[in-house]
Each structure stands twice: as structure tokens, then as C-alpha cells.
Amino acid sequence: MSAPAFTRPTRAAKVDHELEEFRNLMNVPSTFDEGFTWKALIGALFIALLMVPGAIYMGLLAGQGIGGAAQWVTVILFLEVARRAQTQLKRSEIFVLFYMAGAAMGAPFSGLLWNQFFIRSQSAQAAGIADLLPNWFAPALSSPSYALRTFFHADWLPAIGLIVFSTIFGSLANMVLGYGLFRLTSDVEKLPFPMAPVGAQGIMALAEETDAKSTKDSQTSWRWRMFAIGGAIGLAFGAIYLLLPTVTGALTGTPIQLLKIPFTDTTANTQGVLPAVATGMCWDLGLLLTGMVLPFYAMVGSFLGLLATIIANPILYYFGKLPSWTSGDDSIQTMFHNNVDFYFSFGIGISLAVAVVGFFEVYKSVRKRRREAAGEQALAIKSSAMTPAGRGDIRAKWIIACYFLVTITYIIVSMYLIGWEKKNMGVFIVLLFFGFLYTPLISYVTARLEGIAGQVVEIPMIREASLIMSGYQGVKIWFLPIPISNYGSMTVFYRQCELTGTKFTSIWKTQVILFPIILFSSFFYMNFIWSMAEVPSSVYPFAQQMWELNAANSCIMFSSTMGEYSIFQDAFKPLYLLIGLGAGVALFSGLSWIGAPIFLTYGVVRGLGQAMPHYLIPQLIGALIGRFYFQKRIGPQWRQYILVLAAGFGCGMGLVTILGIGITFMNKAVIQLPY
């Protein structure tokens, strides 16, 4: 019998090819080492004293953190110190240091600076919100702490106490419940986690270089060569892109920018041809490398979605669906106006489509497993109970106990803060829904999608919609420690931990030691920075420029539970939401039917949410160069090379960033005499 003239391509034929490139990058080692040692303790002190203030300052100054940079700088520094001390760091110790530096960058008390500003902001006072904010967010406006510019005041104790509580319980839940999901999706379901090696390759490069030095191996590892090349590129580019404007701004007050930060805005030049379309270009070389690192079809899909948006916006404007846009709007104004008129609701619909497809993928997987032979199922269940020896696993009962403890505690504390009155029972129902239904469900779906395709699923506006529907009147509800979180992404972290041969107990010990140190450090530096100058002010240009805008946007949502009119009512349009949902599901179905790669499918759908071309175009250029030049020239090894080179680039940029912060701090610390 002859083959039919047309055969719909199977999904596996196109999906598996790119997924396999990521699945086979690294293998799980046969042994696991303890990564928490006295070196890790010294690393925690180093991070708390030097990295935390740098992260806080850069956030206020330029609106960007130093998370990845701080991680590589910390690891490189400790490798050099260990080498001169005639010792070496194991890859498990390197991973723990890398993890600590990243975890510390989310300084828990950094929100205090925002809190003291928001309650005194023009937006909060104009909206009538300032006087309604609870004392566990910030003290009343009459508090003398604002005039003294200090958090070392009794009025700040409720806010500090809530931050400590949220940090401890949030970290506990994230680590333990993320581990439980990893056990389920990796050990039981044997999912590949294709994106996990991206974060582990740099660690392996440094570990191999250390081993080569210790054994006096004359042949340097290819990983270290690529890491060094990337570091040199990062140093050279960072000196122009970050160091020059940072140093000149600190010394003269006027930064010199050879490459515009954050991007060059060309919207005013293109509005005649492309009305209501934000255009521009970001000159960050890191975006080019990101395009090379990420899956090629994901970049192509995102660009196709961007093209659809560029075509659709002038049409929508012509038919009066984008009435807020006016000639002369820059990129930020164009994006904001378009969001209010159309893309806020349309984007929610698109995100809902991603969530629907994610749930459907889970359903198909479960149904497929049920069709397996009974003997194979029993064997899978039996083998799933066996974990690799020496990995540092804990029993499932402790995971479940931790989940119930954290969730119930969150609910009790939240209800205590707003009161157990009958009128607040709607809030109690919402807390139960988030704690025992939504959080475990969305976490499991995300964990599976991370394991299958490196994707994260979120149901947009679920928190906001639930709080509005609770019937609560006031703004206190927006600042409760609500038990809503997505722990699915932590599965990738545990997979990286496994790939580097690090015992899981190392991470848990690190949590116990690290967070008290970081809590104290971040609180101290927050107070020190506020005492030097008002935040925001001209000393911190990013905060001065953007915080009032962020406050205005926050007031839009907060005012929705005050029983008054707000912009939220203008932005939320159910019809546009349904259009976005329908378009997203239709695209998923159509692309799946023709056998399009899964990365392309997700990229197209996500690109429809009015992504900024300023960042997508450099990523696409990087993806094209990597795919059609370097991969053809180097071969299949290119995928591994670029991962390590990108890690080295981040390290080089980090070194330059830390240097610039150091110069700025020294300049600000100079005491000017009055004569």
C-alpha cells in the first residue's frame, strides 16, 4: 500500500530533536559530596558584608541587581583564595557558594525603603490610601522615624516582624516543598529537565579548572577556556557599558554613556509608519548571548509573536481600540497606554491559554501513564521509592507535615492581622483556596512543565481577582502574608544540585546559617543607606525617576477594594480577555497539529503579549548568529560552549560592576569639610 500524499508530522519528530540537545548536556554523577563547610560559612559573611550593600545600591541607582554578577564574583574570589592557601574547592562547595550569593541578592529588608516611600508618596496620599495602610506595612505618617530617617525605631517593629516571619516561613516552604515536587517529577516520573544544565555548566567549568590546577594538568579544560574567553568579553564590554557611566556619574554627577542605558528609544521616529508601536534597541551584549543560549525556536517564536503585535497595533489604533495613545508618546508611555486600552486584558487571556495548555499536558501525561502495563507501573512505583545513595533525601511524611505547618501558620497569622470577624470570612475562604488548592495544583503543573520543556505556568491576576471577590473593604488585605506561591520552579534548582553532585542536606544547612546573617546585614545596610540621604532623591536617579510611577500603578490595584472607581475598571475588559484566551488556545492547537516544536509554540504565544522589541531583536540576532554561523562552524559542541561562555561573560560583567560600585561607595563616603 502506498503512503498517503500528506502525513501530518508527529510532534515527537520536531520537538524531541531540540529537547534532546538540552537533555543530554550533563549526566548525574555517581557520588554526592557535602558542600556546606567552614568555607561556606566564610562565604556567607563575605556576601553579607560586601555583596548585599552593592545589590541594594545598584537597585536604587540603576534599577538593576547584581545577582548573577555577585554569584560569579564570589565563586571566583574564593577559588583564588583557596588556590593561594594550597587547597581547592570541590564542585559541591562551589555550588553552595554560588547558591548563597544568589539567595542573598533578594535582600529581605530591601522592601522597607519602598514602604517608607510609598506611604509618603503623592500617589498614595492622593488616592486616600496612605492613612489606611497598616502598621505592619509602615508606621503612621506621624511617626518620628521618618524625620530621623531610621528603621531602628519601635514604630517599625511590626513591619520588621512580618518581614522576618515571611522570610523564614517562605524559605522553609520553598526549599522543602520544592524538594518534594522534585522527588515526584524527577525520581518518580523520570522527567528530563532540559534547562537544568544551563545553570550547572558554569559550575562544572570552574570545578574542572580547579582539578586541572591541582593535578598540574597541562591541558586546560575546554570549559575553562570558554569561561575565560567569556570573562574577557564581559570585562571589555562592561567597562564601556557599565563602568564608564557609573564612575563618571559618581565623580562628576553627569554619567557619560557611549551606549544608551537602558535602550535607545526610536518610537518618535517610527510613529508615522507604526502608530501605537514601541520601537527601539537595547545595546546590552548580554542579550545577544542570551539569544544564543536559549532554545532557537523559542526565540523565533517570540519574534513571530512580536511581528504579529507590530502589525496588529496600527490596525487596533485605526479602529479606535487604542484611544489613549497619542503622537509623541515614548516607548514607556506607549506600552502603558496600550496596556490600559487592550493588552492588560488580552495578556491575561494569553496567559490563561498557557495555563490551560499546561494543565492539558499534565492530563495527557497522567492518562498515558495509566495506560501502561500494570507490571511496568508497579516497577516504576517501586523504583521511584529508591533514591540515589548519599544524595541526602528525607522522607515524604516530613514534606507533607512541613506543607501543612506552613500553610496553616500563614492562614492563622493573616486572619489575626485583619481580625476573625464574620465580615472577613470571605478572606478566610480565599486563604484556604490558595493554601490547599491553588498552590499545590499550580506548583505541580509548573514542576511538570519545567521537567518536560523548561516552561513555567502562571494563572494571571488570580491573586488580585480572589482578593477583590473576597468582599473585603480596605487596603490591608493587599499586605497579608497570603499562602500563594509557585514552588514548581525549585525543581530545576534541585536538578542542578543533583547534576553537580551536591548533597541536598548542604543546601538545607546553608539556609539555617545564611538567612540570619543576611537578615541582619540587609537591615543594617537599609538603615545606613536611608540615613545618608532621602530615598528616593537625586542621589539615586532610578528610584527618583521610577518609584512614583510604580506607586501610581500600585494604587490602581489597591483602590479596587475601597469601593471606589479606579483605572483597574478601565483596564479590565472581559471581551478582550476572551479574545486573548481564544487566540492563545487556537495557536497552541494549530501549531501542535502541524507538529511545530514546543519551544516555537510557547514563544509565539508569549510574544503576543506586547513584548518590547528593544530586547527581543538583540536576542533574535544572537539566536540567528549562533544557529547559522557558530553551530555550523563548530558543530554540536556549540550548545555546550555557549552555555559556559555566557557564564564567563556574566562573571566579567560582575567584576566590572563590583568595581564601579566600590568607586561609587568610596566617593559617597567622603566627608566634605565646610572650608
Q: What is the average pLDDT across 213-227?
A: 60
Mean pLDDT in residue range 177-202: 76
Please say if the pLDDT value at position 70 is more than 70. no
Which residues on adjacent β-strands are paired with residue 280? 265
Confidence class for position 89, pLDDT limits 50, 70, 90: confident
What would the mean pLDDT of 153-175 be, rounded to a whole number? 89
Asked if residue 300 lies in contact with residue 619, where contact means CB atoms within 8 angstroms, the answer is no
Please say whether the beta carbons of 507 and 175 come within 8 A.
yes
Per-residue pLDDT at 269 exceeds 60: yes
pLDDT in tens, 20-57: 555 555 666 778 888 888 877 787 787 777 777 777 77
Name the phi and psi angles at 538, rounded to 5: -65, -20
Q: Does 326 map to a domain?
A: yes
Any domain includes 4: no
Q: Is residue 243 part of a domain?
A: yes
Q: For 561-588, what is each residue's pLDDT tens digit? A: 876 665 666 677 888 888 888 888 888 8
Provide the residue type at 4 as one letter: P
pTM of the model: 0.70
| DSSP-assigned letters across all residues of 129-172 | -GGG--TTTS--TT-THHHHT-S-SGGGHHHHHHHHHHHHHHHH
Neighbours of 545 (CB within 10 A): 11
- pLDDT (0 to 100) of residue 63: 62
Assess if residue 461 is contained within a domain: yes
- Asked if residue 674 belongs to a domain, the reply is no
- Is the residue at 170 inside a domain? yes
Q: How confident is the model at residue 485 (pLDDT cuts 50, 70, 90)?
A: confident
The C-alpha cell that represents 108 in the structure block: 529581605
Question: Quick check: is 583 in a domain?
Answer: yes
Round the average pLDDT of the chain to a whole number and report it: 77
Helices (H) and strands (E) in the chain, counts: 31, 2
Reported as a pLDDT band with limits 50, 70 and 90, residue 404 is very high
Question: Hey, is 554 helix, strand or coil?
Answer: helix
Please count the structural domains in the chain: 1
Query: What tens digit of pLDDT does each residue of 194-204 get?
Result: 667 766 666 66
Tens-digit pLDDT profile for residues 320-332: 888 888 888 888 7
% of the chain at pLDDT higher than 90: 8
Question: Pairing between strand 280-281 and 264-265?
Answer: antiparallel
What is the rounded average pLDDT of the residues 297-304?
85
Looking at per-residue confidence, does 340 or 566 come out higher? 340
> Which of the listed ranges 116-125, 360-369, 563-572, 652-661 does the model predict with the highest average pLDDT?
116-125
Nearest to 110, CA basis, from 63, 41, 42, 146: 63
Annotate 470-490 with b (16+ C-beta within 10 A) or e (fewer).
bebeebbbbbbbbbbbbbbbb
- Per the domain annotation, does 2 fall within a domain? no
Nearest residue to 524 (alpha-carbon basis) of 124, 151, 62, 3:
151
State which residues form the domain around 455.
11-26+34-669
Quick: pLDDT tens for 356-386. 776 676 666 666 656 654 444 444 444 444 6
